Amino acid sequence: METRKIIRTFMSTALKDEGFNENIKDDASLIDLGILDSLSILQLLDFFDDKFGIIPDEDEFHPENFDSVQTIAAFIEKKSGRGTS
């Protein structure tokens, strides 16, 4: 399954109460929309580990790595060495 689709499926369930839905574009800023905050980023980190076996390094905790579905997918693919989806 495409990385973006996997992320969107997770967010549709886990971040529904925060306002994530199918109408959110892949390049929309989840931080600016108030969907991602420190607690939801922790949920994402658990998801990264569970689904992809990825644990970000301390120096990778930058908003640009978590700002949108697009940047999250690129980050996961870079960490896993799978290229862009």
* pLDDT score at 22: 92
The 8-class DSSP code of residue 32 comes to T
pTM, to two decimals: 0.87
* pLDDT score at 6: 96
Cβ atoms 11, 69 nearer than 8 A? yes
Give percent of the chain above pLDDT 70: 94
Per-residue pLDDT of 48-85, as tens digits, reads 999 999 999 989 988 888 999 999 999 999 998 865 54
The domain ranges of the chain are 3-80
CATH topology of domain 3-80: 1.10.1200
